[in-house]
Amino acid sequence: MRSKTELVVIAGVAALVFGPKKLPEVGKTIGKTVKSFQQVALQAWFPWNHY
């Protein structure tokens, strides 16, 4: 697991790269992508269950 300092640095760099106006949109897109990967992983490991 990452330390709090690493997460703060990553968030700061992301704010500089994407800008404060685009950051919420980028976060939402990343969240949707992670959720999609989780669903695919569940289907791959447990194909008989329907999520």
Residues of the chain with pLDDT under 70: 1-2, 49-51
Rg of the chain over all Cα atoms, to the nearest angstrom: 15
pLDDT of residue 51: 54
Tokens of 15: 């704010």
Q: In whole angstroms, what is the distance from residue 3 CA to residue 26 CA?
A: 22
Q: In whole angstroms, what is the distance from residue 39 CA to residue 13 CA?
A: 29
pLDDT of residue 50: 62
- Say which CATH class 4-45 falls into: mainly alpha
pLDDT of residue 1: 58
